Amino acid sequence: MIHTLPKGLVTVIRKVFYLLPTRFRFLARRIYYFPIDLIDGVLGRRHKYQPRKGKIFIGSGDFIKLGKGHLSKLILLTGLKPNHNVLDIGSGIGRTALPLTEFLDKEAAYEGFDVTKEGIEWCNNKIHRDFPNFSFTYVNLGNDLYNNSMNTAANYKFPYTSNRFDVSFLFSVFTHMQPDEVFNYLKEIERTLVIGGRCLATFFTYDDQTEQKILNNELDLNFPFEMGNYRLMSKNVISANVAFKNEFLLRMIDESNLKVENVIDGFWKTISTDDNEYQDIYILRK
């Protein structure tokens, strides 16, 4: 929805939104979408496992369509199979979990975790109740966009055994994390993947040419604050959106003992297509 508005207006809305305390950002979204949610509820236009728009904190767009698009990318790019065990890092409010309920076998295990308690509670109440092989875990980690906590993702150990998952994925998670947090998660991804397992992760990444476009404000998103090997959209909310310099990200991936199999630029910096993801896709393999 927000990308259909004039770029200048989008920037203003973001700045105002980021000025709000964390708990009020969720409230603001509920108020904004209340009329639509009311109409959808009265007319029965909402999927059984689709939350109200006001409860969705993971971005705009068609919830069902985007989730199905994520599943298609996982199948195509990671070789995801119905019998695979999968880890959804930053599972949000179940957007990708939902189509997986129709794809994964009952014997396959889905594990998801997120720093937003409300999203985990919704997923456990709606999805886990009907699909017991789908489990969702709340982790109380600090993120100034989503969760106020003193605990840091920079030293968080995933609550899963080593060599557990065939496929891991993160949609729009690393775009809200600082470098030390990303590096720790990459190492944990490597630890919990099986040998030959793959991870699909999305980032905002830039090279010298892209950085010049950022400086010229030519892209759909802008990252005006240069922090050395990464750039921030906001200094007030450092997790709002984060872009990483290509070579810096590749070095972190290499030091995590993961291999890059494929990189697909997102349409935030190229030409939009129906098949492209907004963010840059990295396929990593153990």
Domains along the chain with CATH numbers = 60-285 (3.40.50.150)
Q: What does the pLDDT average to over 112-118?
A: 92
Q: Around Cβ 263, how many Cβ atoms within 10 Å?
A: 14
3 state SS for 245-284 = EHHHHHHHHHHCCCEEEEEECCCCCCCCCCCCCCCEEEEE
Mean of pLDDT over the chain: 86
Top pLDDT among 286 and 58 is at: 286
pLDDT band of 72, cuts 50, 70, 90: very high
Residue 277's pLDDT is what? 85
pLDDT band of 1, cuts 50, 70, 90: very low
Helix (H) and strand (E) counts in the chain = 9, 10
Q: What does the pLDDT average to over 221-248?
A: 92
Q: What phi and psi, each to the nearest 5 degrees, are found at residue 24?
A: -80, -20
pLDDT at 67 over 70: yes
Residue 273's pLDDT is what? 59
Residue 62's pLDDT is what? 79
pLDDT band of 25, cuts 50, 70, 90: low
69-73, 235-239, 275-279, range with the lowest pLDDT: 275-279
Residue 151's pLDDT is what? 87
Q: What does the pLDDT average to over 20-44?
A: 60
Nearest-angstrom CA–CA distance, 120 and 232: 27
SS3 102: coil
SS3 180: helix
pLDDT at 14 over 60: no
**Helix axes 179-192 and 246-255, enclosed angle (nearest 10):** 40
> Bridge-partner residues for 202, per DSSP?
281
pLDDT at 270 over 60: yes
Residue 2's pLDDT is what? 40
Q: What does the pLDDT average to over 145-170?
A: 90
**Tokens for 56?**
């969705």
36-40, 120-124, 140-144, range with the lowest pLDDT: 36-40
Residue 3's pLDDT is what? 45
Nearest-angstrom CA–CA distance, 210 and 66: 26
Q: What does the pLDDT average to over 218-230?
A: 92
pLDDT band of 18, cuts 50, 70, 90: low
Q: Write the CB contacts of 240 (distance below 8 Å, at least 6 apart in sequence).
A: 14, 18, 145, 176, 232, 233, 234
pLDDT tens, residue by residue, 180-199? 999 999 999 999 999 999 99
pLDDT band of 7, cuts 50, 70, 90: low
Alpha helices in the chain (DSSP H): 7-19, 22-43, 63-78, 97-100, 117-123, 129-130, 179-192, 208-215, 246-255
Residue 51's pLDDT is what? 65
